[in-house]
């Protein structure tokens, strides 16, 4: 690299290589305090920052200078960068280690870059980045001293499971064939043998007992799940497990209070999903059996939600094992959506669904992801925590073509009722306060707004006297802005705040 002349801006990394005059200029700049030495022949013009950070952000340029033509290999190729300060490069015939601040380069003897044929290593600065086929073979290596530079068998299995999910069996088999051909070229036949058996186990053509990862074993058992959603579930699980939860007793567990509560629960749960009625119309549907003209399906939706909120087993008998959980969800969705045969009520979705930019769990992963989610539900000992975990699992999986939000909230409330705790109503005015924390949790794994929002709305829900006449409760809800749609103009008010104002 040429040394800039006076008044030019020096690059971060400067190499001392080439003619003697060039080397002398570099040494003079080091003596003048303009450059710092990183490694033999490698210098930086950055004087105030730690050398470790300078080296790591320029690792490609440095490694390419020291080991031109080398192939970034093994676990480094999978990540496309150094991992834990280590970089593995295949080059030449002699193993060696290059140590510098923040970076330890391990040179592994082996064949150079593959530049011909259908599978090629990609040029990267003065290096090459191992192809997917190559790094898969390399990471199936075994033997003394190999473990530190290869991915765990579980990591390889999870990657292959993802390939199978996203590309399908045909592409996985194509990948397998490419691995077989490249193994011959790189003398990695033993590694291919192990990789071949792993791929076969995922495809069902080899014994599944060879697999190690939970994800791959689930796939081989016909119960594949979405690993990214499981990471989300684990984040919420850990947060719920580590925080104290409220215990607000159910004040509407029997008689008229139960009926009134279930009515408003069904009314708002449908309203939030776009099935809107006047309160008087909803009362006619539920208590008089009326079907609103030209809205038969909508009428049955709200009646089905009311039935699930007021009758056992949907109201207060949640599942206690994973398979029963799946059956319970199908049952309640079938009840709520029974008038919409085109939505296949009570059946898992057969096409992918999404809201905005959020793509929910793919159809083939629905049962397995729900099972894994339920294991987190069951592992929580606090009923409020179980309820929130249940609702998030169902909402995040979105297992049905329609009715997912209503099903998720009914599943949450069943957990609360089973423990004698107050169910939760999400009024119209609180819609954004309810949905935005769910979105934040889904996109950013931030559980704090979700727990805060649900604690608040449960406290609000429990603050009303549901033993009073239904129209009186409705008036109280109206006074608290429950029915307002313009959240930017109205806020949720607790009934005691109104009472204090009257006094």
- On whether 294 is known to bind a ligand per the annotation, the reply is no
- On whether 173 is known to bind a ligand per the annotation, the reply is no
Dist CA 184 CA 160 (whole Å):
21
248: its two tokens: 């607000």
- On whether 406 is known to bind a ligand per the annotation, the reply is yes
- On whether 476 is known to bind a ligand per the annotation, the reply is no
Q: C-alpha 40: how far from its chain's center? A: 44
Question: Would you give the end-to-end CA distance of the chain in angstroms?
Answer: 82
Dist CA 306 CA 261 (whole Å):
9
**Helix (H) or strand (E) segment spanning residue 13:** strand 13-15
DSSP 150-195: S--HHHHHHHHHHHHHHHHHHHHHHHHHHHHHHHHHHT-HHHHHHH
From 65, 206, 344, 398, active-site residue = 398
- On whether 196 is known to bind a ligand per the annotation, the reply is no
19: its two tokens: 């003619």
List, in order, residues 6 or more apart from 171 with CB less than 8 Å away.
163
Q: Find out whether 227 and 216 touch, Cβ atoms under 8 Å.
A: no
Dist CA 128 CA 4 (whole Å):
28
- On whether 404 is known to bind a ligand per the annotation, the reply is yes
437-476 as b/e, with b when 16 or more CB fall inside 10 Å? bbbbbbeeeebebbbebbbebbebbbbbebbeebeebbeb
- On whether 117 is known to bind a ligand per the annotation, the reply is no
- On whether 443 is known to bind a ligand per the annotation, the reply is yes
10: its two tokens: 């020096």
Q: Which of 468, 345, 11, 329 is nearest to 2 (CA)?
A: 11
C-alpha distances in Å from residue 64, one per residue of 85, 87, 98, 127, 129: 17, 12, 13, 5, 11
Residue 398 annotated among the catalytic residues of the structure: yes
Q: Find out whether 425 and 265 touch, Cβ atoms under 8 Å.
A: yes
List for the chain the helix, strand, coil content (%; round to 5): 55, 10, 40
Q: Find out whether 457 and 434 touch, Cβ atoms under 8 Å.
A: yes
- On whether 402 is known to bind a ligand per the annotation, the reply is yes
Q: Is cis: bond before 313, omega within 30 of 0?
A: yes
Angle, helices 495-502 vs 470-479, to 10°: value is 80
Task: Please state whether beta strands 103-108 and 86-90 pair in parallel, antiparallel, or not at all (unpaired).
Answer: parallel
Q: Find out whether 291 and 285 touch, Cβ atoms under 8 Å.
A: yes
Three-state DSSP class for residue 396: helix
State the binding site: 402-409, 443
State the binding site for ATP: 402-409, 443
**What residues are annotated to the active site?**
398
């Amino acid at each position: 690299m040429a040394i800039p002349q006076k008044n030019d801006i020096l690059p971060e990394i400067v190499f001392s290589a080439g003619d003697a005059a060039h080397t002398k200029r570099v040494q003079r700049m080091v003596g003048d305090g303009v450059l710092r030495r990183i490694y033999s022949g490698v210098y930086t013009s950055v004087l105030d920052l730690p050398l470790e950070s300078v080296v790591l952000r320029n690792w490609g340029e440095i490694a390419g200078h020291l080991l031109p033509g080398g192939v970034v290999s093994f676990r480094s190729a999978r990540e496309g960068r150094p991992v834990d300060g280590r970089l593995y490069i295949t080059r030449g015939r002699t193993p060696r280690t290059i140590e510098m601040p923040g970076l330890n380069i391990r040179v592994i003897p082996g064949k150079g870059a593959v530049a011909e044929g259908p599978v090629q290593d990609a040029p990267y600065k003065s290096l090459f980045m191992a192809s997917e086929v190559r790094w898969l073979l390399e990471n199936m290596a075994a033997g003394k001293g190999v473990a530190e530079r290869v991915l765990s068998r579980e990591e390889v299995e999870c990657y292959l499971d993802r390939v199978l999910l996203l590309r399908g069996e045909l592409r996985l088999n194509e990948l397998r064939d490419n691995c077989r051909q490249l193994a011959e070229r790189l003398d990695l036949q033993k590694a291919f043998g192990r990789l071949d058996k792993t791929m076969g186990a995922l495809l069902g053509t080899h014994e599944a007992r060879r697999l190690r990862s939970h994800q791959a074993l689930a796939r081989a058992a016909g119960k594949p799940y979405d690993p990214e959603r499981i990471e989300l579930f684990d984040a919420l699980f850990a947060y719920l497990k580590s925080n104290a939860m409220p215990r607000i007793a159910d004040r509407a567990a029997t008689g008229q209070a139960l009926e009134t509560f279930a009515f408003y629960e069904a009314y708002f749960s449908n309203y939030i999903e776009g099935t809107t009625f006047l309160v008087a119309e909803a009362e006619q549907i539920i208590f008089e059996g009326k079907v609103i003209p030209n809205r038969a399906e909508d009428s049955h939706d709200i009646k089905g939600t009311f039935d699930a909120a007021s009758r056992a087993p949907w109201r207060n008998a949640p599942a206690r094992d994973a398979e029963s959980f799946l059956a319970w969800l199908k049952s309640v969705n079938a009840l709520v959506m029974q008038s919409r045969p085109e939505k296949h009520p009570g059946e898992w979705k057969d096409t992918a669904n999404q809201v905005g930019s959020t793509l929910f769990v793919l159809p083939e992963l629905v049962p397995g992801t729900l099972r894994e989610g339920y294991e987190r539900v069951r592992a929580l000992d606090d009923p409020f925590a179980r309820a929130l975990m249940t609702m998030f699992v169902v909402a995040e999986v979105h297992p049905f073509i329609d009715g997912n939000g209503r099903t998720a909230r009914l599943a949450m409330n069943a957990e609360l009722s089973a423990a004698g705790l107050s169910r939760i109503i999400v009024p119209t005015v609180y819609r954004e306060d309810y949905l935005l924390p769910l979105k934040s949790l889904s996109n950013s794994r931030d559980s704090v707004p979700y727990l805060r929002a649900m604690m608040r709305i449960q406290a609000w829900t429990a603050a009303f006297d549901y033993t009073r006449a239904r129209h009186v409760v409705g008036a109280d809800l109206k006074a608290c802005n429950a029915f307002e749609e313009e959240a930017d103009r109205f806020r949720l008010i607790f009934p005691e705040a109104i009472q204090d104002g009257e006094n």
